[in-house]
Amino acid sequence: MESPHSCWQCSSLVVANESAMGVAGSFPENAPVATLWVTGLGCPLCAHNIDQQLKELPGVRAVRVDLGNGKVTAALADSNPPTKDQLARAIVASGFTLTNIQMPESMSTVLCGLCSCESCQCAKSDSRCQPACSCRV
Amino acid sequence: MCQIRFPLPACLLLSGLGAAVNSSHSYGQAPINQDAATQPSPGHATLIEQFRFYSLDLDAGRRDARGQTRDAILLSRLDYGLTKDLSLSLRTPVVFRRRSYDLGDRVERDQGVGDVTALVKWRFYQDDAGPVNTTRISLLGGSEIRTGDAPFTNDAYNPLIGLALTRVSGRHGLNANVQWTFTTAGVPSEGQISPGMSTADVFRYNGAYLYRLAPVEYSADTAGAWYAMLEANGVYETNGDNELLLSPGLMYEATRWALELSLQVPVWRDLDNRPETEYVLVAGLRFSW
């Protein structure tokens, strides 16, 4: 995925945002969240495989696993978050079955809000901004 | 002998590589005394450190060989995920032995490193039927690698194959594991202490039932789980020796580590060569990173 940082304004805002929220560890409540539905989790130690694989992806800040319903929540970075495909591959690599994945709808809005898309410069560098900003690129 | 060929620190270091041949354990709602069809994810590892205390009694065979054996074994096992369905496992036992003989009140002490087992596990079947529910089957293949540290080695490279099945359904877990070791060398059966130390092939047959004691229902706040388990662990050798142990156990499993306790007691045996098991105490820790 291309970085949306070709716009200097966007870049500085995102960096500031990340340092304010800190690194992965506690679950950042305001971060964009991807929700993955997984089966075959088995047990707490088994489910740790998911945690390990997802956290290796650039742009994944924290992971929360609910063994009760198979819901895996990944807090994503505002800048350069992983793609749906990358998240899906990480689940498969961790040895479980992915049944559904829901990417954060707010992602494009957040990016475009940060990037001041009037100029369409950010939209050019990140296709997720295109529908949200109605930019013609 | 370990103290001659390997100094004690080297023994302990070696023990960090794997666990014992006759006590293959796993991780992640896996039984304590057998292999399961679970494995670490690619690029990650699980270390299992286990202390096993064996009380054995030999009252058959040559009179001057009869007596009691106490083995304290530090077993280490390192599993490493190669792909999502393939993992490598190294297992090493460090043995501290005390042997007392019926004749002459004689006592011998010894320590050493038993044969290392290198094992590849290939999971060829997986059916994930629900958030927790799963059925997995793995093929095991590998070899015992001689350390030459008598009497804890049979001084050979012995190939082995096996199969492991793991099924988790809600609070219940079922495991089955069989493993055949083709012994390519060895000493005569008389006087052997552990299975696999003679010229006979070894067939291990195991089953386990696990029950999650707590929590009753998993949730997003679940940080760990308690399990009670009952295992049946059998060892048959082609020299005719056969012994079945029943092994109740308790395990606490967190997200990155687990603590396990087990007691093995014999329920059935037909032994002419190796000593009878009186009991085995097992305590272990599993770490995942």
Choose among B192, B242, B153, B238: nearest CA to B61.
B192
Whether B217 sits inside 8 A of A68 (CB atoms) is yes
Smallest CA–CA distance, residue A130 to chain B, in Å, is 35
The partner residue sitting opposite A69, judged by closest CB among B84, B131, B258, is: B131
Report d(CA B2, CA B97) in Å as an integer: 11
The residue in chain A having the minimum alpha-carbon distance to the alpha carbon of residue B259 is A45
Report d(CA B184, CA B182) in Å as an integer: 6
Report d(CA A52, CA B63) in Å as an integer: 56
C-alpha radius of gyration, chain B, whole number: 19
pLDDT of residue A15: 26
The partner residue sitting opposite B29, judged by closest CB among A38, A42, A53, is: A42
Whether A44 sits inside 8 A of B133 (CB atoms) is no
Q: What is the pLDDT along chain A (137 residues), one digit of tens a residue?
A: 333 333 333 332 222 222 222 333 578 888 899 999 999 998 888 888 898 899 999 999 999 999 999 999 999 998 889 999 999 999 999 999 999 999 987 554 444 444 444 444 554 555 555 544 444 43
Q: What is the pLDDT along chain B (289 residues), one digit of tens a residue?
A: 333 344 444 443 334 333 333 333 335 579 999 999 999 999 999 999 999 999 999 887 777 888 999 999 999 999 999 999 999 999 999 999 999 998 888 899 999 999 999 999 999 999 999 999 999 999 999 999 999 888 888 888 999 999 999 999 999 999 999 999 999 986 665 667 888 888 899 999 999 999 999 999 998 888 899 999 999 999 999 999 999 999 999 999 998 999 999 999 999 999 988 899 999 999 999 999 8
Whether B222 sits inside 8 A of A67 (CB atoms) is yes
Report d(CA A52, CA A57) in Å as an integer: 9
Report d(CA B46, CA B280) in Å as an integer: 24
Smallest CA–CA distance, residue A56 to chain B, in Å, is 10
Whether B223 sits inside 8 A of A41 (CB atoms) is no
Strand partners, B253: B225, B258
The partner residue sitting opposite B255, judged by closest CB among A42, A48, A53, is: A48
CA B50 to centroid of chain Cα atoms: 9
Sign, CA dihedral A96-B222-B173-B83, equals positive
Burial class (CB in 10 A: 0-12, 13-18, 19+), B289: exposed
Choose among B76, B66, B60: nearest CA to B100.
B66
Whether B29 sits inside 8 A of A46 (CB atoms) is yes
The partner residue sitting opposite B128, judged by closest CB among A40, A47, A56, is: A40
pLDDT of residue B199: 87
> Half-sphere exposure (CA, 13 Å, Cβ side) for B178?
3
CB B32 within 8 A of CB B231: yes
pTM of the model as a whole: 0.80
CB B153 within 8 A of CB B194: no
CB B51 within 8 A of CB B32: no
Report d(CA B140, CA A63) in Å as an integer: 32
What residues of B are in contact with residue A68 (Cβ under 8 Å)? 131, 217-220, 222
Whether B253 sits inside 8 A of A44 (CB atoms) is yes
Across B84-150, the runs of DSSP E, i.e. the strands, are 86-101, 107-113, 116-127, 134-145
pLDDT of residue B191: 67
The partner residue sitting opposite A42, judged by closest CB among B132, B254, B255, is: B132
Whether A45 sits inside 8 A of B28 (CB atoms) is yes
Choose among B194, B155, B185: nearest CA to B275.
B194
What residues of A are in contact with residue B219 (Cβ under 8 Å)? 66-68
Residue B194: C-alpha distances to residues A117, B237, B243 (Å): 74, 11, 12
**Chain B CB within 8 Å of residue A57 CB:** no
> Half-sphere exposure (CA, 13 Å, Cβ side) for A73?
15
Smallest CA–CA distance, residue A132 to chain B, in Å, is 32
pLDDT of residue B66: 86
Report d(CA A122, CA A129) in Å as an integer: 7
76-115 of A, contacting B, C-beta below 8 A: 92-97
SS3 of residue A64 by DSSP: strand
Which residues, other chains included, contact A29 with Cβ-Cβ below 8 Å and sequence gap of 6+?
Answer: none
Burial class (CB in 10 A: 0-12, 13-18, 19+), A126: buried
pLDDT of residue A47: 82
The partner residue sitting opposite A39, judged by closest CB among B41, B128, B256, is: B128
Q: How many CB pairs below 8 Å do chains A and B form together?
A: 103
Smallest CA–CA distance, residue A96 to chain B, in Å, is 7
